[in-house]
């Protein structure tokens, strides 16, 4: 059995401002750095063998806090990035609505059916995340591994594991600095924890 502990990166200023971050390389806020340390403390006694991360700095910096406790390196990988939101990145929903009113409405109603201009489809996100997870599970049989990612990449992992369609995207919630745990057995995948925030104090 391989146990994957997914961690969403700590908070950023754009999270607070409700801006589409996508693949923009935004940094952790002061609160986000505290959250990263709290996640690291929560995972201190886990038998972690490896720490993977999206290569965006908000994820890498969260992963480094966890890896440091275990004396491990962080393995960054672009396949674990957030969805590319294209021209929407850096915008609030109100700003998107002003420029792409039909697009925002479509995305809010059915995010799996709509791709922002110059952005990435949810199907493409799910495909790259699923392929990377398969590689990680194959490389670490019978081990516990941390993967630090984003709301989108972790949603994709959960839905794929449960064989749920991407139309269920909004049924999975993934908050900043949350833990989601999947266990991979020869007979299938179990969701053990989802969006666990019990370690956060602030």
Question: Based on the structure, what is the number of domains in the chain?
Answer: 1
The pLDDT of residue 45: 97
The pLDDT of residue 154: 97
Residues designated as active site: 9, 150
The answer to whether residue 117 sits within a structural domain is no
Mean pLDDT value across residues 72-80 = 98
CATH number, domain at 172?
Answer: 3.40.50.1240
The pLDDT of residue 161: 87
The answer to whether residue 173 sits within a structural domain is yes
Cβ proximity of 149 and 54 under 8 Å:
yes
The answer to whether residue 98 sits within a structural domain is no
Q: What is the pLDDT of residues 20-57, one digit of tens each?
A: 999 999 999 999 999 999 999 999 999 999 999 999 99
The answer to whether residue 189 sits within a structural domain is yes
Cα separation, 36 vs 125, in Å, equals 24
Q: What is the pLDDT of residues 100-135, one digit of tens each?
A: 999 999 999 999 999 999 999 999 999 999 999 999
The answer to whether residue 110 sits within a structural domain is no
The answer to whether residue 52 sits within a structural domain is yes
Which backbone phi and psi does 121 adopt, to 5 degrees? -75, 155
Mean pLDDT of the chain: 96
The answer to whether residue 25 sits within a structural domain is yes
The answer to whether residue 24 sits within a structural domain is yes
In terms of pTM, does the model score above 0.85? yes
The pLDDT of residue 202: 67
Residue span of the structural domain in which 134 resides: 2-86+122-196
Cβ proximity of 166 and 126 under 8 Å:
yes
Rounded to whole angstroms, what are the CA distances from 121 to 65, 114, 192? Answer: 31, 7, 28
């Amino acid at each position: 059995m391989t146990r994957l502990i997914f961690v969403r990166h700590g908070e950023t200023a754009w999270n607070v401002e409700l801006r589409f971050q996508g693949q923009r390389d935004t940094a952790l806020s002061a609160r986000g750095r505290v959250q990263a340390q709290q996640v690291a403390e929560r995972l201190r006694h886990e038998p972690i063998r490896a720490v993977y991360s999206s290569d965006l700095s908000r994820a890498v910096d969260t992963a480094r806090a966890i890896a440091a406790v275990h004396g491990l390196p962080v393995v960054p990988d672009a396949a674990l990035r957030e969805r590319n939101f294209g021209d929407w990145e850096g915008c609030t929903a109100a700003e998107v609505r002003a420029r792409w009113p039909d697009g925002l409405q479509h995305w809010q109603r059915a995010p799996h059916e709509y791709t922002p201009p110059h952005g990435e489809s949810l199907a493409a996100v799910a495909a790259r995340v699923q392929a990377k997870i398969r590689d990680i599970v194959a490389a670490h049989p019978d081990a516990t591994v941390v993967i630090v990612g984003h709301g989108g990449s972790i949603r994709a992992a959960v839905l794929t594991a449960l064989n749920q369609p991407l139309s269920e995207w909004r049924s999975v919630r993934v908050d900043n600095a949350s833990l989601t745990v999947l266990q991979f057995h020869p007979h299938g995948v179990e969701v053990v924890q989802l969006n666990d925030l019990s370690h956060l104090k602030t």
